[in-house]
Each structure stands twice: as C-alpha cells, then as structure tokens.
C-alpha cells in the first residue's frame, strides 16, 4: 500500500513538473525562428541524445554496461594503468559501433544550417560526443569537448593523431564484443597500439577525456568564448548534468541569450531556458533549422 502511494505521488509530481514546464517554456517554432534569424552568433551544444538516435550507446545510467563492467569504470586513467588491454578492447568496440553508425536527420540538419548560414552568422557546434558523427555529417566549426574515438594520444611523447584504422591494431581484430561471459583481456601490452615516431614507441591511449581528468584548457577556452558571445543557443540531446558543459547554457540564458532545448524529456536545466521542444532531435531539429 505504501509503495503504491509513493508511485501515485511520483506520477502526480512528474505530471505537475511537465505541466509547469509547458507554462514556463515556449514550444513556438515560429517565434524561435525569429530569434534564430536575428542572431549574429549561434551555438549548438549537443550531447549523447542526438547520437543515441543513430544507435550509439550512451553508456550512462543503469544500462551503461559493457560485458560485466560499468562502462564509466573503464573510462578512467586508473583503469588504463591497471589493464590497458581491457580498456582498449572497450574502446575498439566503441570505435567499431560508431564506424557503422550513420549521422541522423538531426546531425544533418545542423550541418545544413551551418552550410547555408555560415557566411552571415558565426555558428559553432560544441559537442560532448566522441563518435565523430557531426564531422561526418558535414559540420565544420566543431569543438569536441571530450575528445574523439578516432584520435590517439601517446602516453610518452603526448602526440595526438587521427586514426581511423579498423582494427586499430591486429591484436584487436574481432575483439571487444560485449559478451558478459568474457572477463578481462589477454592481449599482451606490446601488441596494443604504440607510437610510430622514431625513438618513442610509447603506448597509445584513446584521445578521450576520462573521468578524473580535466578538459583541454584550449578546448575549454574556445567553448567558453563561443558561449559567452552567442545570441542564441540550442541545447540538443544532453542531460545537462555533466560539468562543465552543464553550466554553459544556463549561464548563457542568465546573461540574456535565447536558449532552446531539444530533448525527449525535460532535464534539470529546462526551467532555465526560454524554449523547449520535446521529441527526437532527428524530428524536432529539421523543423526548426530547415527553413533558416
């Protein structure tokens, strides 16, 4: 009886929250387009939601497992130090999944908007995603906050290089399947990707910002500069809970920029924004951007 009452209460609260959102945020497409038309600088801030529509696992929340491991536990410097082979299997799997995925209508709408309006407006796409789908869709002015699956960084000389080889090394061929019966990795470290620079040969790691690591100061400065001067910001498919990106759009709204959120459901930051468009990004974004 008690649990049933809690469920009813939670349902009422959820409905009340959504009704409150509907009264505080506008979903007037024509009105938002007016703001977009008049903007000199536009920022599009994207997160895992837009890539999920292309079949990319988000690896967040209760379902974020690869094999028996919570995916987030493998995205750390400590995990790589302890078992670089296991971490490389995980990232090889992610590279292969992303390589097979295709940019969806949301990615394409953003790239098309930049192509048509880039000569008259400063348009910047800031993404938390590492799958490269924005670039493949045709986006040019792109800031990747958390790195890229198809870049490596040498742990010795620190050189960052693009690498789209599949597999990235022979030892990883046909490895990385999310089989929960597989424990650990038996790939020798010497067989993992290594730096090819003469007199280096250091072990390569994915050029990804892992948990416990800070963003690249240059990348963070670029993103901050774009956010601090934009007239309009589109928040696309992000839960607005991962910092520092989570503070970007609310701060822009506080200084007077028009902010519109595109998500399948409200987020903790929704009350801070002027517009809220509910639904898949591949459906809502083309409607707003196609005519601009």
Q: Spot the catalytic one: 107, 134, 146, 274.
A: 146
Torsion of CA 240, 245, 247, 250, to 10 degrees: -70
70 sits in which H/E element? strand 69-70
134 in catalytic set: no
- If one counts every other C-beta atom within 10 angstroms of the C-beta of residue 225, the result is 12
Residue written as tokens 């910001």? 233
Axis crossing angle, helix 29-38 with helix 281-289, rounded to the nearest 10: 60
Cα distances (angstroms) measured from residue 237 to each of 22, 107, 126, 158, 159? 18, 11, 12, 32, 32
- Residues making up the binding site for substrate: 91, 94
- Residues making up the binding site: 47-66, 91, 94, 128-131, 154, 157, 195, 200, 237-239, 263-265, 281
- Residues making up the binding site for NAD(+): 47-66, 128-131, 237-239, 263-265, 281
Torsion of CA 25, 26, 32, 35, to 10 degrees: -60
- Residues making up the binding site for Zn(2+): 154, 157, 195, 200
Take residue 273 and report the two structure tokens written for it: 């924004």
- If one counts every other C-beta atom within 10 angstroms of the C-beta of residue 29, the result is 15
Cis status, amide bond into 185, omega within 30 of 0: no
Take residue 207 and report the two structure tokens written for it: 């050029």
Length reported for the chain: 292
Helix%, strand%, coil% for the chain, nearest 5:
40, 20, 40
Please state, in angstroms and rounded to a whole number, the distance separating the CA atoms of residues 51 and 5.
37
Catalytic positions, please?
146
């Amino acid at each position: 009886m008690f649990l049933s009452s809690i469920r009813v209460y939670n349902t009422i609260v959820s409905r009340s929250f959504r009704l409150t959102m509907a009264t505080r945020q506008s979903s007037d497409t024509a009105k938002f387009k007016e703001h977009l038309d008049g903007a000199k600088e536009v920022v599009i801030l994207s997160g895992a939601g837009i890539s999920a529509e292309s079949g990319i696992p988000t690896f967040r929340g209760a379902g974020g497992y690869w094999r028996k491991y919570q995916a987030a536990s493998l995205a750390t410097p400590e995990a790589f130090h302890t078992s670089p082979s296991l971490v490389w299997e995980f990232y090889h799997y992610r590279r292969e999944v992303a390589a097979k995925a295709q940019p969806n209508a949301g990615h394409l709408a953003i790239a098309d908007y930049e192509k048509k309006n880039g000569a008259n407006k400063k348009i910047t796409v800031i993404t938390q995603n590492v799958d490269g789908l924005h670039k493949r869709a045709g986006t040019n002015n792109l800031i990747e906050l958390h790195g890229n699956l198809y870049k490596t960084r040498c742990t010795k000389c620190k050189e960052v290089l693009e690498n789209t080889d599949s597999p990235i090394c022979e030892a990883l061929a046909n490895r990385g399947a999310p089989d929960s019966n597989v424990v650990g990795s038996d790939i020798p470290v010497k067989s993992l990707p290594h730096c090819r620079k003469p007199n280096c040969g250091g072990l390569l790691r994915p050029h990804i910002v892992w948990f416990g690591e800070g963003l690249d100061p240059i990348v963070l400065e670029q993103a901050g500069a774009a956010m601090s001067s934009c007239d309009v910001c589109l928040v696309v498919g992000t839960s607005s809970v991962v910092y520092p990106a989570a503070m970007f759009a609310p701060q822009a709204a506080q200084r007077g920029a028009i902010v519109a959120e595109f998500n399948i459901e409200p987020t903790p930051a929704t009350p801070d924004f002027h517009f809220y468009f509910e639904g898949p990004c591949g459906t809502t974004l083309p409607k707003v951007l196609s005519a601009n």
